[in-house]
Amino acid sequence: MSNSSPNVESLYSKSLKQLCYSMNEDTLVNVLKWLPPSISLQILWKVLKVNNDCENFVYNLPESKISSIKRGREIAQMSLHNSGYEEPVSYRQMSSETHEGFATIQQTKFVDRFNFSQHIDLNLFSKYLEVTNYRSELFTIFQICIQINGFQFPKNLADEWIKIDIQDESNSVYVHHIDQGLKLGIFLGDAGWFSECALVLSHTYKIITTKWLCHDQNLKLVKIIQCLTKWLLVVSNYHNFEEAKVVLQYMLHTIGIIEKIERRKLCIAYAYVAVSQYYYVLMEFNEAWSWAFKAVYELQDKSADILKLLVISHAIRVCSVLNKLSTARKLINQLHTYEKEIDQNVDVDILLNIACYSLKADLAKDSINSYYIALDSRRNLFGYYNLHTAIVFVDYAYARYVCDYSTTDFNEAMRSILQGIFIMEKIGLPNDNMLLVNAGRIKALILEEKALDIMDRGIDIYIHDGIRVQMISNMSSGRKMLAMY
């Protein structure tokens, strides 16, 4: 509704509240079936009473930065004030029961009086994907469906779409099906379900390239590059390098075709970002910077601000890893010149890229606070049991390890890495997935430094006080600690 019509807005809100107050399951079914998706989505949100309508979970980062940092710190430290602990739990106290209990506290709270998830099918969900101005709420509703139905819910949704048998092979039907696949795949990737996203987008790519008889080659190239960009991003971030290598070849071939178009208007800056991210994950940082540089220079004056934000913030991350800090600072200054009325999930992605610069520039507090906000925001949007949340835990654990290296107090780093590993295992990541393997390496690194510190302190006591027993005792404790993990 328009802000210029406050009375109409008020009447609309009152009507929604009255409808929600008198709601029953039959009414909800009719609302979901017949009302425009933008309205039924708002009604569903109100009916669920997400987190008891608490303002702490309103999706508005700038106005709630301090409280978000506080909540993020409590998540990282596993503060269990409601579970018998007065202080943050020590990683030595952490067990599967501790993790489960903390995860239960962190899950999104909602009221489901009408079995709403039984009525969320692919057809309805596809309609909700058209409503872009309630994307944050849709992310949360989606993760509530996962809380109710289990971690197979995203895979079931993806499989249902893939199994659709197209009877009418007209051009308009294929265009509709391709658009539906792109929107579903991109949403699944944005929501943290990378494997399911890749399934949908790989099937969509097959339809575009083998079944769709499109006479407009420019339109076909747009659909292909849109599909490949997200597909390459998710398989790279999922560390599925075998599939990523194949997608990269598709991408480079398509980029080559587009770049040869004379007087082309299609901006492919984000496709360059996807290629850059592939090399970034492989730690081929010079190649990543080459593509990030191309992405920045591909931007046009008429490019959308959100595209500029995504491209430049990615370049900031790559610059920072290569210690090009002066270039990163210039890009950060440029970043602040653009409008930032964007979805919270994009805002958090940008925040994490800048956190990488802060860490490299010895701005430890800024970096840590950025990770706290990211933990809070991703937990709110996608749920505690989500790969996005787990990845922030792992990245923060390493950042915290770097920040605390001089103090050798790695308790918070260890709590974070154990949470990240716990989530990855819980949601079903294979044991050989490199995200999980890398998390294990960071855990081992932290434990190694902790053990070395214990031994160093034992030697120091022996030298200064002549208490050899203390050194032996500490070394024994170190071995026991290593054995525990």
**pLDDT digit string, tens, across residues 447-481:** 988 888 777 766 554 444 444 444 445 544 444 44
Give the predicted TM-score (pTM) of the model.
0.89
Q: Which DSSP string do the residues of 451-476 spell out, in sequence order?
A: HHHHHHHHHHHHHHH--HHHHHHHHH
pLDDT bracket for residue 336 (50, 70, 90): confident
Mean per-residue pLDDT, 221-232: 98
Provide the pLDDT for residue 8: 56
pLDDT bracket for residue 15 (50, 70, 90): confident
Task: Count Cβ atoms within 10 A of the Cβ of residue 220 and give its class: 0-12 exposed, 13-18 middle, 19 or more buried.
Answer: middle
In this prediction, what percent of the chain has a pLDDT beyond 90? Answer: 62
What is the signed CA dihedral for 296, 302, 305, 310, rounded to 10 degrees? Answer: -30
3-class secondary structure, 9: helix
In the predicted model, is pLDDT for residue 430 greater than 70? Answer: yes
In this structure, are residues 355 and 370 in contact, taking their beta carbons and an 8 Å threshold? Answer: yes
Provide the pLDDT for residue 471: 45
Q: When comparing pLDDT for 121 and 483, which is higher?
A: 121
Provide the pLDDT for residue 55: 55
pLDDT bracket for residue 63 (50, 70, 90): low
In the predicted model, is pLDDT for residue 215 greater than 50? Answer: yes
**CA distance linking residue 24 with residue 17, whole number of Å:** 14
Provide the pLDDT for residue 53: 60
In the predicted model, is pLDDT for residue 134 greater than 70? Answer: yes
In the predicted model, is pLDDT for residue 320 greater than 90? Answer: yes
In the predicted model, is pLDDT for residue 218 greater than 50? Answer: yes
In the predicted model, is pLDDT for residue 407 greater than 90? Answer: no
pLDDT bracket for residue 89 (50, 70, 90): low
Centroid of chain to Cα 404: 25
In the predicted model, is pLDDT for residue 238 greater than 60? Answer: yes
Provide the pLDDT for residue 169: 75
Q: Please give the mean pLDDT across all residues of the chain.
A: 87
Q: Which DSSP string do the residues of 299-324 spell out, in sequence order?
A: --TTS-HHHHHHHHHHHHHHHHHTT-
Provide the pLDDT for residue 84: 47
Mark out the alpha helices in 404-433 (DSSP H runs).
411-426
Provide the pLDDT for residue 2: 42
The least confident of 177-191, 296-310, 340-354, 450-464 is 450-464
In the predicted model, is pLDDT for residue 83 greater than 90? Answer: no
Provide the pLDDT for residue 484: 41
